[in-house]
């Protein structure tokens, strides 16, 4: 704000100089300046956030939790009157030897008149008792309705003695970078605190889980703000403040905070409210990101999409006809630019939802419809193990030597008889495969063609080279395939 005000003062000085030089220029410049002055933005035209803050503060709560554990230190409680009695409090124990400690302070917000309150899972995780502190000082005991650790969300329920002031959900998809936002919460246990900032970025992946799609903001968020709301200027919740980037041990704000988007949170909360847990559907696939070489091998210009590396038996994708090697470019009519986009799109869907899938298979586009299935754990595949080098070698246009799969390979690597392919036996210096392939890798397809011999692998590679495309190699793994693109010499 100070920078903007200083800029305006500087402009006034320039106009004063212009007045002395030419009155006509002053009139034109003043008209232009007036046209550019924002009249409807708080903080830029004499307005502030006080009215909005007064409206929203009663809807934001402070959350404190307690956890009771046994006397883990093995020492008895000191009795009343003992000179060491004061150490009971120091160790967090009562006179019966039980330990009671404050485990968490956080924030939350009221979403309906029935007393449902949204917060973060990590705020209440492991708590025996949860207290909700309203803005008027009322303290209510809360019941945990359910949690979703995958999105770090939790839903609480209180029995209010008087009417509550819920706040509405906003549409996080329409929140734009540069838009004003307010964060209200309980930083460092200080009680209701308002900070203002802007949406700094969208769709942030901070490696916290499969559903990372955070809103980034520079509104000051500190420890204790977790679970608190991020509001737009219409008083709607567009995010739940969850994490901060804070170098060092102080945990203070450096202007980089992250909020769970409201559209994701609203779906999760409604499922918890109805079922006590999420009912998130799954595709039943594992996918990989696409590099430029793989994209070109599929006939695409950009390195976008999600490459299917595993299809679960009896899963939604299998029932819809998707196969290993399919490159998904759209899901539910939304573009898939990276593998994590699948999780982001599915995160707001439920079991039984039907979704259209557009994909590329062996250079041709196709579509299908999947019906999301209940979540199931897929077995993770292991990386390829190294195999001993055999004598048979065959050089080719991609600088890779192949050999046939032998019985010793199948015994040592536990390769099923149903798996056909060739073994990578060597890689030439200068080959694009260096650093991408490993000696001993099992190649099952070359340029979308199944191969059973080195000759077939080389022929398929040469065909791709004639089409001026990178050569796409499908690599077998125990439970999961992977893919590598190699440019011809």
Q: How is the chain split into domains, by residue range? A: 51-278, 285-371, 400-486
Q: Which residue has the tokens 């679960």?
A: 312
Helices 23-36, 2-21: axis angle to 10 degrees equals 160
pLDDT at 391: 27
**Strand pairing partners for 382?**
478
At 184, is the secondary structure helix, strand, or coil?
strand
At 19, is the secondary structure helix, strand, or coil?
helix
Mean pLDDT within 174-195:
89
pLDDT at 459: 87
For 372, other C-beta atoms within 10 Å of its C-beta total: 22
Q: Taking a C-beta distance cutoff of 8 angstroms, is the pair 224, 102 a contact?
A: no
Q: Taking a C-beta distance cutoff of 8 angstroms, is the pair 389, 372 a contact?
A: no
Q: What is the DSSP string of 432-485?
A: TTTTT--TT-EEEEETTEE-SSHHHHHHHHHHHHHTT-PEEEEE--BS--EEEE
pLDDT at 170: 94
Q: Which of 36-50, 262-276, 470-484 has the lowest mean pLDDT?
A: 36-50
Is 248's pLDDT higher than 80? no
Residues 6+ apart with CB under 8 A from 73: 91
Catalytic residues: 122, 152, 226
Is 305's pLDDT higher than 60? yes
pLDDT higher for 75 or 457? 457
The reply to whether the predicted model has a pTM over 0.75 is: no
pLDDT higher for 13 or 236? 236
Q: Hey, what's the torsion of the CAs at 38, 42, 43, 46, to 10 degrees? A: 80
How far, CA to CA in Å, does 427 sit from each of 281, 386, 406?
A: 43, 14, 19
Residues 6+ apart with CB under 8 A from 177: 198, 199, 200, 201, 202
For 145, other C-beta atoms within 10 Å of its C-beta total: 16
Q: Taking a C-beta distance cutoff of 8 angstroms, is the pair 90, 75 a contact?
A: no
Give the C-alpha separation, 303 to 261, whole Å.
26
pLDDT at 381: 32
pLDDT 10s digits, 321-354: 999 999 999 999 999 988 888 888 887 777 888 9
pLDDT at 250: 57
pLDDT higher for 375 or 477? 477
> For 276-355, where are the alpha helices, taking DSSP H only?
292-297, 316-319, 340-346
Find the radius of gyration of the CA atoms of the chain: 30
Mean pLDDT within 38-51:
58
Residues 6+ apart with CB under 8 A from 77: 71, 88, 93, 94, 95, 96, 97
pLDDT at 25: 40
pLDDT at 380: 32
Give the C-alpha separation, 312 to 480, whole Å.
10
CATH of domain 51-278: 2.40.10.120
Computed over every residue of the chain, the mean pLDDT equals 79
Instruction: Name the most confidently modeled range: 3-17, 66-80, 127-141, 380-394.
Output: 127-141
Is 303's pLDDT higher than 60? yes
Residues 6+ apart with CB under 8 A from 484: 294, 433, 436, 437, 472, 473, 475
pLDDT at 209: 65
Q: Which of 30-34, 137-141, 345-349 has the lowest mean pLDDT?
A: 30-34
Is 297's pLDDT higher than 70? yes
The CATH number of domain 400-486 is 3.40.470.10: no
Nearest to 386 by CA among 409, 360, 367: 409
Give the CATH class of 285-371: mainly beta
Give the C-alpha separation, 164 to 149, whole Å.
27
Domains 285-371 and 400-486 alike in fold:
yes
pLDDT at 81: 55
In terms of Cβ atoms closer than 10 Å to its own Cβ (0-12, 13-18, 19+), residue 456 is middle
């Amino acid at each position: 704000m100070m920078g903007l005000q200083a800029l305006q003062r500087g402009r006034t000085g320039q106009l004063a100089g212009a007045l002395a030089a030419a009155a006509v220029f002053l009139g034109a410049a003043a008209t232009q300046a007036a046209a550019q002055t924002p009249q409807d933005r708080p903080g830029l035209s004499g307005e502030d956030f006080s009215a909005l803050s007064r409206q929203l503060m009663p809807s934001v709560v402070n959350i404190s939790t307690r956890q009771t554990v046994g006397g883990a230190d093995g020492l008895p409680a000191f009795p009343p009157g003992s000179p060491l009695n004061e150490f009971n409090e120091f160790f967090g124990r009562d006179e019966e030897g039980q330990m009671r400690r404050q485990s968490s302070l956080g924030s939350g917000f009221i979403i309906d008149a029935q007393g449902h309150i949204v917060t973060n899972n990590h705020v209440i995780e492991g708590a025996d008792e949860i207290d909700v502190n309203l803005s008027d000082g009322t303290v209510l005991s809360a019941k945990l309705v359910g949690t979703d650790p995958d999105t770090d969300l939790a839903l609480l329920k209180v029995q209010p003695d008087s009417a509550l002031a819920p706040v509405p959900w906003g549409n996080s998809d329409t929140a734009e970078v540069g838009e004003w936002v307010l964060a209200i919460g309980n930083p460092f246990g200080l009680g209701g605190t308002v900070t203002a900032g802007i949406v700094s970025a969208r769709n942030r992946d901070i490696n916290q889980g499969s559903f990372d799609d955070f809103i980034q903001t520079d509104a000051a968020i500190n420890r204790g703000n977790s679970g608190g709301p991020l509001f737009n200027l219409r008083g709607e919740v567009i995010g739940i403040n969850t994490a901060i980037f804070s170098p060092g041990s102080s945990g203070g704000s450096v202007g980089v905070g992250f909020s769970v988007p409201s559209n994701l949170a609203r779906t999760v909360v409604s499922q918890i409210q109805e079922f006590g847990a999420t009912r998130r559907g799954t595709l039943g696939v594992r996918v990989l990101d696409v590099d430029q070489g793989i994209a070109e091998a599929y006939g695409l210009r950009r390195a976008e999409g999600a490459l299917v590396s595993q299809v679960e038996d009896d899963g939604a994708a299998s029932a819809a006809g998707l196969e290993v090697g399919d490159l998904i470019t759209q899901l539910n009519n939304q573009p898939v630019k990276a593998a994590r986009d699948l999780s982001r799109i599915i995160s707001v869907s439920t079991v039984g939802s039907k979704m259209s899938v557009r994909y590329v298979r062996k250079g041709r586009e196709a579509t299908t419809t999947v019906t999301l299935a209940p979540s199931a754990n897929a077995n993770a595949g292991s990386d390829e193990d190294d195999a001993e080098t055999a004598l048979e070698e065959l050089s080719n246009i991609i600088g890779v030597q192949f050999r046939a799969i032998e019985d010793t390979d199948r015994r040592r690597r536990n390769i099923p008889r149903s798996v056909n392919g060739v073994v990578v036996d060597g890689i030439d210096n200068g080959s694009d495969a260096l650093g991408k392939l490993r000696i001993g890798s099992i190649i099952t397809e070359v340029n979308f063609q199944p191969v059973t011999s080195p000759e077939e692998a080389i022929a398929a590679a040469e065909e791709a080279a004639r089409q001026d495309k990178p050569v796409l190699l499908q690599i077998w793994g125990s439970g999961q395939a992977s893919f590598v693109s190699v440019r011809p010499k």
